Chain A
Amino acid sequence: MINAFLAQDGIYLLTVILLGLGLAGIIVCNNYMKKLICMNIMQVAVIFFFLCLGQKNGGTIPVAMDTIIHAADYINPLPHGLMLTAIVVSLGTTGVGLALLTRIWERFGTLEEDEIIQVKGEDEV
């Protein structure tokens, strides 16, 4: 039963749960580093969702072979190509995020949100 569920809508449900976990983590976490990790989890969820769309029953990897000529026998290469670039761009966003965190650490000596707000309040007074 669980196999049938996962083969149909369940896999969408799992990706959506992953997306929700990332989103909830961004809101709940007090630490900016954890927020960045949760943003990465959200990106992974979106990548999984697109890869689900490219799946075909009985399809093989998208490398053309002489013996297989029908298009229905290869899985859909388009989501894979799009997500390949998305992975690389997520690397770039993570790098910029880490650079910003470095600046925050230098300025406040901490990455906890409530402590940063406290330090900022002391500065203004």
Chain B
Amino acid sequence: MQLRRVITVLIMVTILVVPFVAFRVLPEIGDPNSAPNSHVTDYYIEHTISECNSPNMVTSIIVDYRAFDTMFETTVMFLSGVAVILILSNKPKKRDDMFRKFNPCTTNTGPSIFKTVNKDVMISIIEPLILIYAIYVLFHGEVSLGGGFQAGALIGMTYLLDVMVVKRKDRDIFNYSLERSVSVAGTGPFIYAVGGILGLIGGGLFMEFEAIPLPIEAPELHSIGILIVEVGVTVGVMCTIITILKAIMDRVSFDDDND
């Protein structure tokens, strides 16, 4: 215990002293000619409309210039959902079950949360607005601010709100089984890869959206490719959030379960 405190103080002192030496090496904040702002990013900024037909540079970087990178980011999300299911998939041992019965969740944290929230406002007004915003963010991701990750997080958020607001017995209406949610989460990277393979079919490279075999001009093809990829990312992120939430909620008991 004492050693812990000593190590912590040492780490904090080192971390606070090192900057005064090392900050001279780091680039100056706000300098347009500093190293991180000068090499490749000027190319991205100047060519984003002519090459990707996407005014939003962040979208054009993550799903067009670096699309291969983002494909595996989405796969990492899916794999984390699978990992959560695998960790929580065993049956608890009998001995541990006994242990759990001796230690039930007894801490009283006030009234149940679904009693304190107005369901009419939450479900019929706020959640549709969140969903509309999510769809807007998804389909306008290449034109204005937004993108697939944000849309997926927002749609996953509405499910989370539902779970928080509705009591456990009534959840069957919108319940999404674990197997289904994880398989839909796997569809996300698959849609993404299909977007890449469409370029191969047209005779181009993987993720080369200009080669998609459709009778449209090249700038529009970029928009279509970006949209396919964004839909894949959205589905992957959304269902991974739902998977993690459901896997943990199925396993844990809460004090308001029986209310």
Interface residues of A (CB under 8 A from B): 7-9, 11-13, 16-17, 19-20, 23-24, 27-28, 52-57, 59, 61-65, 71-72, 74, 76-81, 84-85, 87-89, 91-93, 95-96, 98-100, 102-103, 105-110
Contacts and interface: CB of A to CB of B under 8 A. Distances in A.
A2 B239 CA distance: 45
Interface in B112-138: none
B80 A9 contact: no
Given A27-B4, A28-B4, A95-B84, A12 B73 contact: no
Interface in B213-259: 237, 240-241, 244, 247-248, 251-252
A114 to B, nearest CB: 9
Given A27-B8, A96-B83, A71 B42 contact: yes
B27 A53 contact: yes
A61 to B, nearest CB: 7
- A-B pairs, top 3 by smallest CB distance, nearest first, are A92-B80, A95-B244, A77-B57
Task: Using C-beta atoms within 8 Å of the partner chain, give the interface range for chain B.
Answer: 35 or more
B30 A55 contact: yes
B158 interface: no
A81 B61 contact: yes
A19 B14 CA distance: 12
Given A24-B12, A71-B42, A96-B87, 5 more contacts: A13-B19, A62-B56, A63-B145, A71-B45, A76-B36
